[in-house]
Amino acid sequence: MLLSLAPMEGLTGHVFRRVHAEHFGALDRYYTPFLTPPHPGSSFGKRAAAELDPANNRGLTVVPQLLTKDAGQFVWAAEVLAEMGYTEVNLNAGCPSGTVVAKGRGAGLLRDVEALDAFLQDVCARSPLAVSVKTRIGVVDDGEFEKILAMYCRHPLAELIVHPRVQKDRYDGVPRRSIYAEALAAAPFPVAYNGDIFGEDDRDALLAAYPQTRHVMLGRGVLANPALARVLRGGAALSREELERFHDDLFDAYLAEIGGNAVFRMKEWWFYAQHAFANPLAVHRRVRKVRKVAEYRAAVEGIFASEAFAAIARFDTK
Ligand SMILES: Cc1cc2nc3c(=O)[nH]c(=O)nc-3n(C[C@H](O)[C@H](O)[C@H](O)COP(=O)(O)O)c2cc1C
């Protein structure tokens, strides 16, 4: 089974991908957090350029993800990406953020299925790269998916990655896996599953219900347990020493990239990584108010010196 790392804005960018792969081995595929395509004729901005620079992604299979509803922008970006050596480009049809949706992007694309149909028609005809889509299953109601899926099935997609929640769910509730199964059964192209795979039990339940599953995209589960892919492949559980070494290299890499703002980047990671410890709340309290690099280092030293490690590192939505 293919295992990939989900695009997560602010969390799974090139620094995380590189350090994670160095410590835990590469996943089969990595998706960049969403990038806004440049206007036709211009080039990607500085941050996106760093994200896409082949030197920052050496040895990894990376699929850039674009957030747009403009076919011209998408195709232009795909041309630029093709020149950089990429072979696939992914469309974000799932971002639930109110401001994104209001502009008709991300999950907002699902509000107007006819417009998305025309967009994909144009993009699939003109893109020099294979086009995949990461999608939610609707805006308000999962009944919307029947029409959405029929529309996707009319296009030669490289893959459809289904996160079976609607936009209004954001990340709440339980993913509607039977809706993923509808896509699996009907689509003429490969379908991937994404959502709430945090441990072996989740993987087992998914595969027991849908044994045809061939690609699972992991997100928050890998942030809480960077050894998750290894564990799902039958390897050893995460150890405290491994997490500490990984943490130290990740922090150093962010410091080199963005200076003191690395503290804030790491605090976002701790929101997930706290679940590697028996008392996540205690871990959260230790890093919550920290601002300066020295304070941060002291807080983290305290965590690794005195907080008990969880029996199983596992993201918890509660
Ligand atoms: C903080 C955060 C940032 C995210 N950024 C993106 C993004 O840039 N593009 C995207 O398609 N999905 C994004 N997602 C959604 C994830 O890729 C994934 O679909 C979601 O976390 C569910 O998978 P999981 O349960 O394995 O975490 C983001 C989710 C979170 C929590």
pLDDT in tens, 258-269: 999 999 999 999
Within a domain: 171: yes
Ligand 1 neighbour 6 (Cβ under 6 A): yes
Going by CA atoms, what residue is nearest to atom 30 of ligand 1?
8
Summarize pLDDT for 44-81 with one digit per residue, the tens: 999 999 999 999 999 999 999 999 999 999 999 999 99
Q: How far apart are the first and last CA of the chain?
A: 29
Q: Whose CA is nearest to atom 4 of ligand 1?
A: 8
Q: Whole domain around residue 8: which residue ranges? A: 2-232
Residues 267 and 161 in one domain: no
Cα dihedral sign, 127-129-133-134: negative
CB 34 near ligand 1, within 6 Å:
yes
Q: Among 232, 267, 296, identify where a domain stops.
A: 232
Q: Which two tokens mark 220?
A: 């928050």
Does residue 216 line the site of ligand 1, with CB under 6 A?
A: no
pLDDT band, very low/low/confident/very high, at 152 (cuts 50, 70, 90): very high
Q: Is 8 in the pocket of ligand 1 (CB under 6 A)?
A: yes
Kindly state whether residue 316 falls inside one of the protein's structural domains: no
Q: In this structure, what CATH number is given to the domain that contains residue 215?
A: 3.20.20.70
Residue 218 Cα: closest atom of ligand 1: 26
Residue of 8, 51, 62 to mutate, ligand 1, most atoms within 8 A of C-beta: 8
Q: Give the C-alpha separation, 212 to 215, whole Å.
A: 9
Q: Where are the alpha helices (DSSP H) in 64-137?
A: 71-83, 98-102, 113-126
| Ligand 1 and 127: CB distance under 6 A | no
What is the model's pLDDT at position 317? Answer: 81
- Of the residues 232, 260, 275, the one at which a domain ends: 232
Same domain, 158 and 111: yes
Q: Is 7 in the pocket of ligand 1 (CB under 6 A)?
A: yes
Print burial letters for 73-94: b (CB count within 10 Å at least 16), e (below 16). bbbbbbebbeeeebebbbbbbb
Ligand 1 centroid distance, CA of 308 (Å):
28
* pLDDT score of 79: 98
Residue 32 and residue 176 share a domain: yes
pLDDT at 134: 98
One domain for residues 116 and 66: yes
Rounded distance from Cα 6 to ligand 1 centre (Å): 6
Residue 314 lies in a domain: no
Residues 137 and 271 in one domain: no
Q: CA quadruple 299, 304, 307, 310: dihedral positive or negative?
A: positive
**Ligand 1 proximity of 163 Cβ (cutoff 6 Å):** yes
Residues 245 and 279 in one domain: yes
Classify residue 278: in a domain, yes or no. Answer: yes
CA 169, CA 140: separation in Å to the nearest integer?
Answer: 8
Residue in the block written with tokens 């996540």: 280
* Closest atom of ligand 1 relative to the 34 alpha carbon: 8
Q: CA 65, CA 36: separation in Å to the nearest integer?
A: 9
Is the residue at 315 inside a domain? no
Q: Are residues 218 and 132 in the same domain?
A: yes
Q: Which residues of 37-173 form beta strands (DSSP E)? A: 62-63, 65-66, 88-93, 130-135, 159-162
Q: Could you tell me if the CB of 9 is within 6 A of ligand 1?
A: yes
pLDDT of 318 higher than 90: no
Burial class (CB in 10 A: 0-12, 13-18, 19+), 208: exposed
Give the position, in ligand 1's atom list, of the atom nearest the Cα of 33.
8
Asked whether residue 245 is assigned to any structural domain, the reply reads yes
Same-domain pairing of 149 and 266: no
* Pair (171, 248) in one structural domain: no
Residue 318 belongs to some domain of the structure: no
Q: Identify whether residues 194 and 283 lie together within a single domain.
A: no
Question: In terms of domains, do 141 and 91 share one?
Answer: yes
Closest of 2, 118, 119 to residue 61, by C-alpha:
2
**1-46 tens-digit pLDDT:** 999 999 999 999 999 999 999 999 999 999 999 999 999 999 999 9
For residues 148 and 137, the answer to whether their CB atoms sit within 8 Å is yes
Mean pLDDT, residues 89-108 taken together = 97
Residues 46 and 110 in one domain: yes
- What span, in angstroms and rounded, lies between the C-alpha atoms of 249 and 17? 12
Please report the pLDDT score of residue 120 as a whole number: 98
Number of domains the chain contains: 2
Q: Does residue 71 fall inside a structural domain?
A: yes
C-beta 92 within 6 A of ligand 1: yes
Q: 139 to each of 106, 108, 118, 193, how far by Cα in Å? A: 11, 8, 19, 18
pLDDT band for position 203 (50/70/90)? very high
Of 9, 169, 193, the one to substitute when testing ligand 1's pocket (max ligand atoms within 8 A of C-beta) is 9
Mean per-residue pLDDT of the chain: 97
The last residue of one of the domains, among 232, 255, 280, is 232
